[in-house]
């Protein structure tokens, strides 16, 4: 049963449940970009991200990736295990787009082989700065072996996600992951995987099909996310 509100973020609300080890994530219709400076509400977005994330996490479970996800409860809510989130944004990049093009002057679409993994400190006041491993140990208290595990998992998840999206006719350009500790100390993938947290380009046309349509005002966010969900559903059914 849904209990009291534990936390409200930019894209989700988090509720207690009867079970102290489980939480309900409720996906909101709000879209934010540029650290909350650009904000708009899109009816139906919460449903789409809930259903897309649920589908992606289920696919990752089939590949034996451990996550906080338990099940979708309804159109906009999902049940997850409570984790102690590590305040790191782990970004994996297969091709150049977004902040790396501005930060390092790399042309958009440049292929990264091997993929580039970057760590950002999850802190709105500081604008989520790029950090190195030693910063991460210092700022988050994480141990060396935990960070090594996070990096290995992120690269493995990149392989699985690239495959999942490729089957849906989408190229995975980059994405952001978050990890958290379960009460027994195990580190698992947490948060969400959706077009809010991934860059996805149409495999044939290169059209942007993710939150960049909102950031760059180049299309309808809900139409785009609806197409992602449809394609994922069709590709899973076609398997």
Cα end-to-end span (Å), the chain: 35
Q: What's the CA gap between 120 and 80, in Å, rounded?
A: 24
- 183 vs 219, beta carbon nearer ligand 5GP: 219
Q: What's the CA gap between 111 and 129, in Å, rounded?
A: 23
Query: In the numeric block, which tokens belong to residue 82?
Result: 């409570």
Minimal CA–CA distance to 13: which of 33, 30, 35, 37?
Answer: 30
Contacting range for ligand 5GP; rule: CB under 6 A; set: 23-31, 36-44, 63-71, 93-101: 93-101
Q: Taking CB under 6 A as the rule, does residue 146 contact ligand 5GP?
A: no
Q: Which of residues 96-135 bind ligand 5GP (CB under 6 A)?
A: 98-100, 128
CB 38 → ligand 5GP: shortest distance, Å? 12
Q: Which of residues 178-207 bind ligand 5GP (CB under 6 A)?
A: 196-199
Q: Which of residues 29-68 bind ligand 5GP (CB under 6 A)?
A: none
**Count of residues interacting with ligand 5GP (CB under 6 A):** 14
Q: Helix and strand tally (H, E) in the chain?
A: 6, 14
Minimal CA–CA distance to 139: which of 119, 121, 159, 118?
Answer: 121
Q: Taking CB under 6 A as the rule, does residue 25 contact ligand 5GP?
A: no
Positions that interact with ligand 5GP (CB under 6 A): 89, 91, 98-100, 128, 174-176, 196-199, 211
């Amino acid at each position: 049963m849904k209990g009291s509100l534990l936390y409200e973020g930019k894209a989700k609300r988090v509720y207690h449940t009867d079970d102290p080890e489980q939480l309900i994530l409720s996906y909101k219709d709000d879209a934010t970009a540029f650290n909350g400076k650009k904000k708009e509400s899109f009816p139906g977005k919460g449903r789409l991200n809930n259903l897309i994330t649920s589908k992606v996490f289920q696919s990752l479970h089939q590949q034996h990736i451990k996550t906080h996800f338990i099940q979708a409860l309804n159109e906009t809510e999902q049940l997850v295990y409570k984790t102690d989130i590590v305040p790191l944004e782990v970004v994996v990049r297969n091709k150049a787009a977004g902040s790396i093009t501005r930060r390092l002057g790399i042309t958009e679409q440049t292929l990264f082989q091997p993929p580039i993994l970057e760590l950002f400190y999850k802190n709105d006041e500081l604008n989520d700065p790029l950090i190195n491993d030693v910063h991460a140990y210092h700022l988050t208290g994480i141990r060396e072996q935990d960070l090594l595990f996070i990096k290995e998992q992120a690269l493995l998840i990149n392989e699985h996600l690239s495959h999942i999206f490729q089957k849906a006719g989408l190229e995975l350009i980059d994405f952001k992951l978050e990890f958290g500790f379960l009460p027994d100390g195990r580190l698992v993938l947490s948060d969400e995987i959706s077009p809010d947290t991934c860059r996805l380009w149409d495999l044939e046309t290169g059209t942007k099909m993710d939150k960049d349509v909102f950031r760059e005002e180049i299309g309808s966010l809900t139409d785009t996310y609806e197409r992602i969900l449809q394609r994922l559903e069709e590709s899973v059914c076609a398997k």
